[in-house]
Amino acid sequence: MKRQFFRSKFIMFTSLILTPLCIFGLISVLSINLYMDREAKQKSNSVTELMQQTISELTTSLENYKVIINSNGRFHLALIQALNSNHMNTDILQKMEQAMQAMYYSQSTKPYIHSLYITIDDSPYYIDGMSRVTFEGSLDSDWPKAMEDCSDSTYLQVRNIKLYKFDTKETPVVTAYFRMKYNELVAINILQGYFNHWLDSAANYEGQILMILNQEGEPLFFNENGSTVSEEERLNALAYGEGKASSNAFLRKYYIHSGTFPGTYGLKYLSMIPKQEIFAISYTFMRMTIAAAIVSILISLVLAYYFTRRDYRQVFQIIEIFDKAEKGEFESLPQPKAVPGSPYFHIINNVANLFVSQTYLNTQLDAKKYALSTARLSALQYQLNPHFLFNTLQSIDLEVLKISRQPAAANQMISRLSSLLRYALDDPMEPAAVREEITATKDYIELQSYRYKNFFLVTWEYSDEVLDVPVLRLLLQPIIENSILHADRSSPDRLWVKIKIRLNEKGLVFTILDNGAGIEKGRLKELQNALRENRADNSGRHIGLKNIGQRISLAYPDGYIKLSSKEGIGTIVEIGGIR
């Protein structure tokens, strides 16, 4: 009892403290998540726009170089002389320098352009800036091979180059190859580190991955975090961002934004923001809410213990008074003692005294009700016919035998009626077995068949397990009588009555079905209300149903009778809860 009291106090205090806290925490977390998700989308779009502007500037510069070379015939002639002559004289050198001057100065103003190479097919030389260089003596001599098997006029490749022998490290570049109008091959080396550093500074979140990729999804530029992503993860992220791949454990950790930049190069972008960074504030608030919930639970434990200890003594006194009053021990009832700090002592004391008084009156009233119920049950069961009818029928049976000098149909009727009366007039407080109820009902059916010939047919459905179950007498007879009396005799169809008896978890159940005239909807509702409220039916019809309903309610606490019918189809009566 004390544990239950403590549990109820604990649940009460926990609900009062924890429920608003949890609701507030949940609403706050959801609001923060929505805000942070919206902010992440905005920042991703902003970064994408910056990347697009930067890449647009780069591609514009590359296109300008192509325009300069393709639009100048003199430039082409100067290149041919410089790249095909084995000996460079002053005139050739001067023409080459004049031709390359505009491109050289343009290159020097672009901090992301590392170098620019130009050559023609089968030439042993290429031009680097303002100088002519031999492939044989150059440290970066393999760059034209990238275009040997490439059918495209434009190609991007990531390379590592070393220009001078004293360079200790190779320089990572993205080389843009162009096959020009006059069949020149141009290679523009773009500093990868320049754009990598720029992507580092453009990231809005810790751990954010930013990449610029070629058409095949190979990374050209990427920030520091981009180097940690494998090729499979990168390709899956691109496909997922385009809605062409399902999520996996890795991708579920990131907010992914990807697409393709406008332009002829088909460059792609990829942004991956760790969700733990987006929702960092939300996670922190959630941890604070959980911590507050734990503290509130501890406070509820302390309050529940305090009030349980204070109030248990008074509750125990009241329970002791109630228990003794319910047992009828009114002489030894204790007087409640005041509990310090309880403002409700006098109210509870008055409630206890009122309960004791009502319990005493209810005890006396229950005894009177029991006697009255016994009397009503006896009166209801004896209403079939007076006892003297049994003896009279015996005398009539003998007189019929004297006249006919052999058993006749009348003797069979009298015998069945005598059996039915004997069954009905036994001690009403003594229940009968179901098999006896079935036998008595069959006697009644046989008696009615003599009167109505082939007007009706009765069938039975039951198992052997129900035959020995005790039951009140004459439960079935009044219902079958109703079915016969209220049937439509003008109908050509034969009246069919089916009686089903079964056992379920609530006890014995009788179901009586017929295909008679049924009951009109309004009349059916009145009968159902009368049975439910256990009140008299003023119409004078269906008295048997009312009789059975009263007997069931008096004899069985869980007993019930249900009536359902449809006019022109038939009626179903169910009696249950018998145990």
| Residues 150-176 pLDDT 10s | 777 788 889 998 877 777 788 999 999
Burial 122-131 (b: 16+ CB within 10 A, else e): ebebbbbeee
- Please check the confidence at residue 471 and state whether its pLDDT lies above 90: yes
Out of 1-5, 294-298, 448-452, least confident range? 1-5
467: confidence class by pLDDT, cuts 50, 70, 90: very high
Is the pLDDT reported for residue 510 higher than 60? yes
The enclosing H or E element of 255 equals strand 254-260
pLDDT score of 514? 93
pLDDT of residue 384 exceeding 50:
no
Which architecture characterizes domain 72-193 according to CATH? 2-Layer Sandwich (3.30)
Given this model, what pLDDT does residue 312 score?
64
Q: What is the pLDDT of residue 513?
A: 95
Residue 431 neighbours by CB under 8 Å, 6+ apart: 470, 471, 472, 473
**Quick one: which of 151, 147, 178 has its CA closest to 59?**
178
Give the confidence band of 385 by pLDDT, cuts at 50, 70, 90: very low
pLDDT value of residue 222: 93
Answer yes or no: is pLDDT of 338 > 50. yes
Q: Identify the weakest region by mean pLDDT among 156-160, 272-276, 352-356.
A: 352-356
pLDDT given for residue 459 in this prediction? 95
State residue 330's pLDDT score: 57
Regarding beta strands 268-274 and 209-213, do their DSSP bridges make them parallel or antiparallel, or are they unpaired? antiparallel
CB atoms within 10 A of CB 271: 28
Average of per-residue pLDDT across 115-123: 87
Residue 74's closest CA among 101, 53, 47, 50?
101
Please tell me the CATH superfamily of domain 431-578, with its number.
Answer: Histidine kinase-like ATPase, C-terminal domain (3.30.565.10)
DSSP state of 279: T
Each domain of the chain, given as residue ranges in start order, spans 72-193, 203-277, 382-425, 431-578
38-42, 126-130, 370-374: least confident range = 370-374
- Model pLDDT, residue 375: 46
The pLDDT value recorded for residue 325 is 63
pLDDT higher than 60, residue 283: yes
| Residues 424 and 440: beta-carbon distance below 8 Å | yes
Mean pLDDT for the stretch of residues 248-257:
81
337 pLDDT above the threshold of 70: no
Counting residues of the chain whose pLDDT is more than 90, the rounded percentage is: 17
* Confidence (pTM): 0.50
Same fold, 72-193 and 431-578: no
Better-predicted residue by pLDDT, 54 or 98: 54
Span 176-200, pLDDT tens digits: 998 887 778 889 999 999 999 999 9
Buried b / exposed e along 30-51 (16+ C-beta atoms within 10 A): eebbeebeeebeebbeebbeeb
Q: What is the mean pLDDT of residues 521-537?
A: 78
Average pLDDT of 36-53? Answer: 88
**Which helix (DSSP H) or strand (DSSP E) does residue 313 occupy?**
helix 280-326
Helix (H) or strand (E) holding 134: strand 131-134
For the cut 70, the answer to whether the pLDDT of residue 319 exceeds it is no
